[in-house]
Amino acid sequence: MRLKLTKTKNLPIGVDLGSSSVKMAQMRVADDGLAMTAAALCEIPRDRRNNPQARMDFLAGVIRENLKSHPFVGNECILSLPAEATVIQHVKLPKLPPQEIAKALRTELQGKLPFAGSDAIIRHIAAGSTYGDGQEKDEIIAVCCSRKTLDGYLEMAQQARLDVLGVNIEAFAVVECFGRLFRRAADAARTILFVDLGAASTQVVLSQGNRVVFARNLKLAGNQFDDVVAKGLKIPLEQASALRRDLGKAQGSDSEEELYHLLEAPLGKLTDELTQCLQYYESVFRNQSIERTIFVGGQASDKRLCQTIAQRLNLPAQIGDPLVRVRRLEGAGMVIGLDRREPQPAWAVAVGLSLGADKAA
């Protein structure tokens, strides 16, 4: 996206509704670049995460409180639905007029979604051209969610006193976050793999410049890693989660070796699923190799986890910092202890939602 710079422009608040936490970030555009106006983070209690009504009540209350206690400007926002509330499907369609694609997608996806077709909201982007059955086709990325689910989150946002300008998904928000760094003409030919390592899911996104060409939601993520460690060490789940988090900050101990021995199987499975994603991409976009991997998400703070995955994929990699080249205004992020001396990969979605406001559907 290209930002039209003005003297000062506060962008909408990006509200990242994750499975285990809610993050809010607001960016400001000025003549001297981007700045963060405010940021807020709150963990969702474990006993509310899988209880829909309790979850919504908690989110409404904590967001409303954050708007009051942090230096957010206004209440306009862009939401992202939790990854588990959305379905991403790649569909190959014959070359069709734009107005006919939506109808063709609904027919193609009939019976393939975990909710009734009549309840489905389907949006799409064109990833590019490919070939199938001897003819040129369009590679379409369809994003689907239940109308009931979307209405529930919009109602929650209203109770939180948010003015929702649009709804996006985590995968697209990640590309929006880093797309501002890929504006040169040559960047459009570079393919970057983003791996968003979350608690309940792993988002896989491939972009050419700031254009999404592949997206998939994998169910294997941090919660499954915690479960394996808890069972292997015979400790409570919360303790296993804390152990993984602490070892991710202090590497090189014997405990770390034991932990990663336990994680060998799920890490192997995750790498296999990532490899399948890359193989699919390469079958569609031939001769467009992947340049590097950028890890984001809450689990990406574990450097060894990212290094292990990158080595198995045989790709150069880095941990993404969504706040690179972003100034922090006085007070922004201070309440939650946002440490700008270290990369902050967990904030990619919230920052991307704010920056990508003009593209939210």
Inter-axis angle of helices 303-313 and 254-262, nearest 10:
50
Co-location of 276 and 318 in the same domain = yes
Co-location of 75 and 176 in the same domain = yes
Residue 333: predicted pLDDT: 55
Which of these three, 121, 145, 169, is where a domain ends?
145
CA 36 to chain centre: 19
In what helix (H) or strand (E) does residue 127 lie, and over which residues does it extend?
strand 120-132
Decide if 245 is inside a domain.
no
Q: How far from 61 is each of 57, 158, 182, CA to CA, in Å?
A: 6, 11, 37
Domain that holds residue 130: 87-145
- How many CB atoms sit inside 10 A of residue 183's CB? 12
Decide if 248 is inside a domain.
no
Instruction: Express as a percent the part of the chain with pLDDT over 90.
Output: 70
Confidence band, pLDDT 50/70/90 cuts, at residue 131: confident
**Which residue is listed with tokens 């993404």?**
320
Average pLDDT along the chain: 89
Co-location of 108 and 220 in the same domain = no
**Which residue is listed with tokens 């989150």?**
153
Residue 335: predicted pLDDT: 53
Decide if 138 is inside a domain.
yes
Co-location of 175 and 275 in the same domain = yes
State the average pLDDT over residues 285-293. Answer: 88
Co-location of 283 and 137 in the same domain = no
Co-location of 116 and 194 in the same domain = no
Residue 199: predicted pLDDT: 93
Residue 80: predicted pLDDT: 95
Confidence band, pLDDT 50/70/90 cuts, at residue 15: very high
Residue 337: predicted pLDDT: 61
Kindly tell me if the per-residue pLDDT of 252 is higher than 60. Answer: no
Q: How far from 290 is each of 130, 181, 284, CA to CA, in Å?
A: 18, 17, 13
Q: Residue 81 has which token pair? A: 């639905």
Co-location of 26 and 131 in the same domain = no
Which of these three, 95, 125, 145, is where a domain ends?
145
Instruction: Express as a percent the part of the chain with pLDDT over 70.
Output: 90
Decide if 259 is inside a domain.
no
Co-location of 16 and 111 in the same domain = no
Kindly tell me if the per-residue pLDDT of 328 is higher than 80. Answer: no
CB 307 within 8 A of CB 267: no
Kindly tell me if the per-residue pLDDT of 340 is higher than 60. Answer: yes
**β-strand partners of 34:** 29, 326
CATH of the domain at 127: 3.30.1490.300
Which of these three, 145, 162, 177, is where a domain ends?
145
Kindly tell me if the per-residue pLDDT of 223 is higher than 60. Answer: yes
Confidence band, pLDDT 50/70/90 cuts, at residue 33: confident
CB 73 within 8 A of CB 351: no
Q: Tell me the pTM.
A: 0.91
Residue 289: predicted pLDDT: 87
Decide if 253 is inside a domain.
no
CB 353 within 8 A of CB 115: no
Residue 1: predicted pLDDT: 40
From the list 17, 28, 19, 27, the residue with the least C-alpha distance to 62 is: 17
Decide if 249 is inside a domain.
no
Kindly tell me if the per-residue pLDDT of 48 is higher than 50. Answer: yes
CATH of the domain at 63: 3.30.420.40
In what helix (H) or strand (E) does residue 349 lie, and over which residues does it extend?
helix 348-355
Co-location of 73 and 100 in the same domain = no
Co-location of 73 and 130 in the same domain = no
Residue 2: predicted pLDDT: 46
Co-location of 208 and 299 in the same domain = yes
Residue 332: predicted pLDDT: 61
Residues in the chain, overall count: 361
Confidence band, pLDDT 50/70/90 cuts, at residue 331: low
Q: How many domains does the chain have?
A: 2
From the list 320, 360, 301, 344, the residue with the least C-alpha distance to 192 is: 320
Decide if 247 is inside a domain.
no
Residue 336: predicted pLDDT: 58
- pLDDT tens-digit map of 152-197: 999 999 999 999 999 999 999 999 999 887 777 667 778 999 999 9
Residue 249: predicted pLDDT: 57
Residue 220: predicted pLDDT: 94
Decide if 235 is inside a domain.
no
Confidence band, pLDDT 50/70/90 cuts, at residue 102: very high
Co-location of 197 and 64 in the same domain = yes
